[in-house]
Amino acid sequence: MTATATAVGQHPADDGAEHRAERRADRRARKRRALLEGWGFAAPAILLLSVFLVAPFVLAVYASFTDQRLVPNPNLPTQWVGFRNYSRMFADESFRAGLIFNAIFVIVVVPLQTAFALGLAILVNQKIRFRNGFRTIYFAPVAVTMVVVAVMWSFFFNPGSGLVNAVLDAVSFGYLTPERFGFLNWVLDRNGARAAIIIMSIWQGVGFQMVIYLAGLQAIPDSLYEAAEIDGATNTQKFRYVTIPQLRNTTIFVVLSTTILAFALFDQVEIMTQGGPQDATQTMILRLISFGFRQGQVGLGSALGVFYFLLVVVIAFAQRRLLREERAVA
């Protein structure tokens, strides 16, 4: 009787333990399947990134420590040279000039283009007539390739017959002329060439950031503005205490993407100034192309590429951290 009772009493407990073990095994199996499915979906992207991004970067790091040439010479085998390419890179005056102009370009273009993009986004977000037409007009330069834009603006900035100087001469009644102000020679003057590249780049790229900001503005709930209006907030106060805080994540993305694109400055410089005059508009990418392809010094060009990559990564992380800290303080 006791044995029977004990046996009968043990069956439910044993059955429950078996069910729990089966459920745990089933959960583990589902997790394994989900993990395998995830890796399966990610595998094509990982493969492409590995082949076209990771592997070339690893090869570039290796080549930067060698005297690799674009056209191999059987009589001059590739040799390990250590940090010689990096020392030669920093000793190159054109590279230092490119680093300076890249810094100037980033410092000027990033805040101005971000501010203009936000202003245009607020403008085309208003309930006005033909606002879709305005959006198209402001975004149109982004859809045009940089080569076409650079060629067009080269004609605009022509010192003698360009549209820009003609307009300046007309509105100033002949006062703003290249003879009186040297920088109005534009691509022929150091400061004028830098200003021309900056103006054209802002005009061409601001539409992209405008669209990003427009999406951010449309994602802000109307209830926040209604609550601010009930509290008696002015338009300026609503912009400062509602719009700006709600656009912080958007601003982080816009600033980071604009900074990375600004450091990649190449097309407009190659078309308009070729780095001149006197290396005033030289850039790191232009110098990399010159080292690696025009001079055939792949090792030296690889060293510049590695330095460029690390510089952009450090600045991007620093910006992101700074913006996050400001958001936390706010």
Looking at domain 87-329, which CATH architecture does it have? Orthogonal Bundle (1.10)
pLDDT score recorded for residue 150: 92
pLDDT score recorded for residue 282: 93
Task: Tell me which residue has tokens 């427009």.
Answer: 214
pLDDT score recorded for residue 19: 74
pLDDT tens digit at each of 330 positions of the chain: 444 444 445 555 566 677 777 788 788 888 888 888 888 899 999 999 999 988 999 999 999 999 888 888 777 788 898 899 999 999 999 999 999 999 999 999 999 999 999 999 999 988 878 888 888 888 999 999 899 999 999 999 998 888 999 999 999 988 988 888 888 899 889 999 999 999 999 999 999 999 999 999 999 998 998 898 888 888 889 888 999 999 988 998 898 888 888 888 999 999 999 998 889 999 999 999 999 888 889 999 999 999 999 988 888 888 777 766 655 555
